[in-house]
Amino acid sequence: MTEYEAVIGLETHVQLKTKSKMWCGCANAFGAPPNTLVCPVCLGMPGVLPVPNEEALRLTALAGLLLHCEIPRRAKFDRKNYFYPDMPKNYQISQYDQPSTRNGYLDFEFEGEVRRVRITRAHLEEDVGKSIHFERYSGVDFNRAGVPLLEIVSEPDITSADMAWAFLNALKELLVQGGVSDCDMEKGMVRCDVNVSVRPKGSAELGAKIEIKNLNSFSAVRRALAYEIERQIDAVRRGETLIQSTRRWDDDAGITEEMRTKEDAHDYRYFPCPDLMPLEPEDAWLEEVRARLVERPLERKQRLMRKYQLPAGDAEVLKNDPELGAYFERIARGAPNPKALANWVINNLRHQLAEANERLAAEHASTGFDEGPPPRLTLADLKFPPEAIPELVALVDSGRISSKIAQDVFAEMFATGERPAAIVERKGLAQVSDTAALEALCDQAIAANPGPVADYKAGKKAALNFLKGQVMRLSKGKANPQLVGEILERKLADS
């Protein structure tokens, strides 16, 4: 039986992180009552003129740089003409043959490997209004009309539903960390059109492109693709010829349905927008944008693994949390044991912060005022200075405290800001390596546990661990466990 493979290209729209809309001063904000963020420009009244939002142009170029795109010396805006009640101008301003950025790529990890998907272009486009259907009539909310969107078009380099999912997550992480978009799915900031075809494995030709619309979450993209790939392969195996068409994803039913075929595809009659000058970015302007470029998440992960020999799992956590990554690097630079430091930062510090924030959220909820988000504790609010973590690790490494006691010291230091050495001193937590004191505790444990002692002597070596545990308990966790083991073994052999 012929094997088939999927070919997928994505067109992802993300809302740019600007204060105002693309052509007017109306706020780019979510959740306002319908038609309160509007003016003659974004309502498409006759006679008004659009004025480009500089920050949207900068963010577009910034996204292009993050995606390794070229930023052409000349770009322009075009009118995409169609009729729809949510767009009274009857055209949407977009970019057609001369986009602001093109020919880039996104590298991301998938199934343990770095994969590359080429980016055809990332261009600017305005959002339109939103139709709302009531029982007996419909309304249009124009709050979104004129909100700046970035449309990121990929080459058909994606080969499975899971890979599309990984691509979208990597794209989102890049744009969020790059400051281009908040990519908040719940606020509709990311929308995706999916193009998919199938072909015999190894074939160089592309099959008929089928576009799926109405995908509002990454998991919907993944589910729609999984369904559609199977549907297409089944159809081809049955001898059907697939034709270029557009389908709609029905999320509840979990199926795609045909909307239209190529014959009734839109002809948008694109033409240059006469109201807007072509864009001709200058060197100085581009340099300003380039100065805002951050390290890409995957690059940070790879660098942390190389530079500090971090395991992939640790580097992954720091890849997704740039602030934590920066905090780690502050204390790890030049440290003899960066791995141990990463461990403290990722496990203890992150968990203490999460717990503190849970408490804050619970308190906030219990006050009965649900206005605004709960206060959040961040790395900037820590009571102890960053050096305190290397100090704590040094206390463990030198054998002054056990790693178990170190957990308690950390919790104390997190709560009060007191330095680890001072906590150890004040609470008398230093590890007991004084042999006389340990001998006494060992004698006590042996005397109190004749059963396990007999077991040990009868050859049950595991009984030693039990006795060791008893000594540790008697010492309140402060005994040097290795010494205890040695003393116990000696005493049991002698007696």
The residues of the shown chain that bind ligand ADP, judged by CB under 6 A, are: 7-11, 153-156, 195-197, 206-207, 209
**Smaller CB distance to ligand ADP: residue 124 or 393?**
124
* DSSP states of 19-88: SB-SSSSSB--SSPPTTSS--TTTTT-TT------HHHHHHHHHHHHHTT-B--S-B--EEEE---TT-T
Least Cβ distance, residue 145 to Zn ion (angstroms): 8
DSSP for 117-167? EEEEEEEEEE---EEEE-SS-EEEE-TTTT-EEEEEEE-S-B-SHHHHHHH
Quote the CA–CA distance of 227 and 221 in Å, as a whole number.
10
Residue 45 Cβ, how far from Zn ion at the closest point, in Å? 10
d(CA 473, CA 459): 24
196 binds, among ligand ADP, Zn ion, none (CB under 5 to 8 A by kind): ligand ADP
Q: Which two tokens stand for residue 231?
A: 């549907």
Nearer of residues 5 and 443 to ligand ADP, judged by Cβ: 5
Between 4 and 456, CB nearer to ligand ADP: 4
Binding residues among 32-91 for Zn ion as defined by CB under 5 A: 39, 41-42
For residue 148, the minimal CB distance to Zn ion (Å) is: 12
d(CA 79, CA 271): 5
Angle formed by the axes of helices 388-397 and 420-427, nearest 10°: 50
206 binds, among Zn ion, ligand ADP, none (CB under 5 to 8 A by kind): ligand ADP
Does 145 engage in binding with Zn ion (CB under 5 A)? no
Q: Which residues pair with 362 in a beta bridge?
A: none
- What are 22's two structure tokens? 């693309």
Residue with tokens 């795609």: 256
What lies within 8 Å, CB to CB, of 19 at 6+ separation is 27, 28, 55
The answer to whether residue 438 forms part of the interface with Zn ion (CB under 5 A) is no
7 is in the binding site of which of ligand ADP, Zn ion, none (Cβ under 5 to 8 A by kind)?
ligand ADP
Q: Which residue has the tokens 């003016």?
A: 39
Instruction: Choose from ligand ADP, Zn ion, none: what does 26 bind? Cβ within 5-8 Å by kind.
Output: Zn ion
How many residues lie near Zn ion (CB under 5 A)? 5
- Which of residues 6 and 42 has its CB atom nearest to Zn ion in the complex? 42
Name the one range near Zn ion by CB under 5 A: 21-29, 59-67, 160-168, 273-281: 21-29
Q: Please state, as a whole number, how many other Cβ atoms lie within 10 Å of the Cβ of residue 5.
A: 16
Residue nearer to ligand ADP on the CB measure, 92 or 154: 154
Give the nearest distance from C-beta 265 to ligand ADP in angstroms. Answer: 8
Report the residue closest to ligand ADP, judged by CB.
Answer: 9
Q: Which residue's entry shows tokens 């969020």?
A: 176
Nearer to Zn ion (CB atom), residue 24 or residue 388: 24
Name the CA dihedral angle for 50, 53, 57, 63, rounded to a multiple of 10 degrees.
Answer: -120
Nearer to ligand ADP, 148 or 156 (CB): 156
- Pick the binder of Zn ion from 8, 22, 26, 442 (CB under 5 A): 26
Binding of Zn ion at residue 198 (CB under 5 A)?
no
Point out which residues bind Zn ion (CB under 5 A): 24, 26, 39, 41-42
